[in-house]
A = this chain, B = another copy of it.
Amino acid sequence: MTVAVLTGVPGVGATTVAEEANEALEEHDADYEVVSFGTVMLEVARDEGLAEERDEMRKLPSEEQRRVQEQAGERIAERAEDTNIMVDTHCTIKTPEGYLPGLPEWVLRGLQPDVVVLVEADPDEILFRRLDDETRARDFESTKELATHQDMNRNAAMSYATLTGATVKIIKNPDGGVEDAADELVDALA
C-alpha cells in the first residue's frame, strides 16, 4: 500500500486539502487512513510508560525522543501493510534553534514514504489565513519568513526523497482553490 506524507506550514490548509481529496478517493475505494505523526509518537511514548502528554514527551532526553520517533515511523509502516496511510506532519518545524527536520533519517528508514506532499500557498495568503484563525495562538511569521520556511521545506523534502526514493509533490492551495488542490492530490495518490 501507499505511504503518503502530507506537509505544509501552519495555516496553509494542508489538512483541508487532504480531507477533500480523501472524500473523492473513498468513492473509488482508494482512500487513505490519515494519521498524525505526533499522535502516533504519543501512543508509542504511552505504551513505553515514557510520557502521558505531549508536553512530557518534549521534555524527554533527545535520545529517547529519537527512539520514540523511530518507532512511530515503524508503527505507521506496519499499518500501511493493510491500508493506504497519509501521515499528517511537518516537513520542517520552525523553532528558536532553527528549522527542525520533521522526518530525520531515522524516521525515514522505518517509514519508507512513497510520496511527500508539500501543500504551499503565497505567503500573503497564508498570513491572512492565520490572522483569520483566532482560535490558535501562533508565533508571528512575516511573509518573508513564510517564504523562507516554504523554501526550507522544499530543501528538506528533496533530501527525504533522496534517502527513500519518494517523489515530492508540490500542490498549490491558493485562496478559493481548495477543490483544484484536492483534485491534484487525488491524481497524485490514486
Interface residues of chain A, those whose CB is within 8 Å of chain B, are 62, 66, 92, 95-101, 103-106, 108, 114-117, 148, 151-152, 154-165, 167-170, 187-188
Residues A167 and B104 in contact in the complex (CB < 8 Å), given A155-B154, A162-B159? no
| Given A148-B170, A151-B154, A155-B155, also A161-B96 (CB < 8 A) | no
Asked if A101 and B158 sit within 8 Å, CB to CB, the answer is yes
Q: Is A158 a contact partner of B161 (Cβ separation < 8 A)?
A: no
Q: Does A152 contact B158, Cβ atoms closer than 8 Å?
A: yes
Question: Out of B96, B157, B167, which one reaches A188, CB within 8 Å?
Answer: B96
**Sampled A-B contacts (14; CB under 8 Å):** A62-B165, A66-B165, A96-B188, A100-B161, A104-B163, A105-B164, A106-B165, A108-B162, A151-B154, A152-B154, A155-B155, A159-B159, A160-B162, A162-B163
Cβ–Cβ contact B116 & A167, under 8 A = no
- Assembly of this chain: how many copies? 3
Question: Which residue from chain B places its CB closest to the CB of A2 in the assembled complex?
Answer: B97
Select from chain B the residue with minimum beta-carbon distance to A148.
B170
Min CB distance A9 to B, Å, is 15
Could you tell me the distance between the alpha carbons of A115 and B96 in the complex, rounded to whole angstroms? 11
Residues of B within 8 A of A116 (CB): 98
The smallest beta-carbon distance between A121 and chain B, in angstroms, is 14
Residue from A100, A151, A157, A162 with most neighbouring chain B CB atoms (10 Å): A162
Within 8 Å CB of A169, what residues of B? 97-99
Contacts of A168 in B (CB 8 A): 92, 98-99, 152
Does A104 contact B154, Cβ atoms closer than 8 Å? Answer: no
